[in-house]
Amino acid sequence: MKFGVYVLFENPEWMPPLRRELKRAEIHFEEWFINKGHFDLSDVPPEGVFLNRISPSSHTRDHTESINFTREMLIWLESNGRRVINGSHAFSLEISKVRQYQALREVGLRTPHTIVVSSDPDELKKAAISMPLPFLTKHNCGGKGLGIRLFHSLEEFDEHIGTSDYQKPVDSILLLQEYIESPDPYITRVEMVGEKFLYAINSNTSQGFELCPAEGCDTNNTTDELHENVEEKGRDRQNLFSLREDFFDPIIDKYKEYMRKFSVDIAGFEFIETSSGEKITYDVNGTTNYSPSVEERHGLNGMAAIAELISRELKAASQDTKNN
């Protein structure tokens, strides 16, 4: 077995751009599809570096065991001294917006006012009373806009949670959150790899809340619909993303501090800017899928930056192996 990178993944649709860049950089790689599985704690993991690309929305693709299984596997890998890019600490933030918000606050960043609720209907109704209107709901463990819904009245909210439209979050934690008004019809997403700022994009919000920049990300479709329409929808959706040019902002240093402090190697930070110019960060994504249209138009390549990071880590890990 050659020394290389092991990619932990659960969504095959997000693999081609990464595969392409790993091949181009001549990095030896193996793909580990993580959903169901087993490993022996007395076994030693293979030598090499690991890249964790497990998504908090894996359960929406019927990969219901991915998150729990990955969490345990990361501990086994790290306990055996393996370098995991976006390892156990980053993953504990990835699957919980509550932990992201606490961590963002610890480095002095503003997050939206949020109430954390165990998703029992009575508790939800009680919690909502103290939430200024309008507010939105979102899943603590999610992505792809899971559970995002805007409410203008308590009656509307109470009625919603009694219907089949209300989907219980996978970890049973629902967030009630301040709706941040912005004078602009877009949010900003800041892409970082290995503490380096890559670029920022704007995502147009006038058509709704689902904002994964990759082609083929769509929440509200059945699998069949997705396959039928994926190309067309992918193209339409790509128009929603544009480069935010000349973005040099002190918030970038704060994001770097966050990554250092909480051992996050790859992240896409999302913020909304208010009319007073305040930037409120509300989401941190570890499994970024870069927008192909933005990258093509501007000669950018996020996956190449990830391949470079892997290369560096492989060199360091092979040095460690030689020294031991």
Q: Measured at CB, which residue is nearest to Mg ion?
A: 283
**How far from 213 is each of 30, 85, 108, 309, CA to CA, in Å?**
25, 21, 27, 21
Q: Which residue in the set 49, 127, 146, 306 belongs to the binding site for ligand ADP (CB under 6 A)?
A: 146
Q: How far is Cα 152 from Cα 143, in angstroms, rounded to an integer? A: 23
Rg, Å, the chain Cα set: 20
Give the binding-site size for ligand ADP (rule: CB under 6 A). 21
Would you count residue 283 as binding Mg ion (CB under 5 A)?
A: yes
Would you count residue 283 as binding ligand ADP (CB under 6 A)?
A: yes
CB-count burial class (<10 Å; 0-12, 13-18, 19+) for 275? exposed
The pair of structure tokens assigned to 5 is 């990178």
The binder of 136, among ligand ADP, Mg ion, none, by C-beta within 5 to 8 A per type, is: ligand ADP
Give the interface segment with ligand ADP, choosing from 63-71, 85-93, 141-149, 297-305 (CB under 6 A): 141-149
Phi (first) and psi of residue 238, to 5 degrees: -60, -25
Would you count residue 286 as binding ligand ADP (CB under 6 A)?
A: no
Cβ proximity to ligand ADP, 88 vs 100, nearer residue: 100
Residues 228-247 within binding reach of ligand ADP (CB under 6 A): none
x/- map, 215-254, Mg ion, by CB under 5 A: ----------------------------------------
Would you count residue 116 as binding ligand ADP (CB under 6 A)?
A: no
Q: Which of 282, 289, 296 is nearest to 209 (CA)?
A: 282
Would you count residue 87 as binding ligand ADP (CB under 6 A)?
A: no
Q: How far is Cα 181 from Cα 281, in angstroms, rounded to an integer? A: 13
Q: Which of 48, 46, 53, 82 is nearest to 70 (CA)?
A: 53
Would you count residue 259 as binding ligand ADP (CB under 6 A)?
A: no
Would you count residue 274 as binding ligand ADP (CB under 6 A)?
A: no
Task: For residue 201, count other CB atoms closer than 10 A to its CB.
Answer: 27
Would you count residue 282 as binding ligand ADP (CB under 6 A)?
A: yes
Would you count residue 82 as binding ligand ADP (CB under 6 A)?
A: no
Provide the minimum distance between the beta carbon of 324 and ligand ADP in the complex, in angstroms, as a whole number: 40
Q: Are 177 and 136 in contact (CB under 8 A)?
A: yes
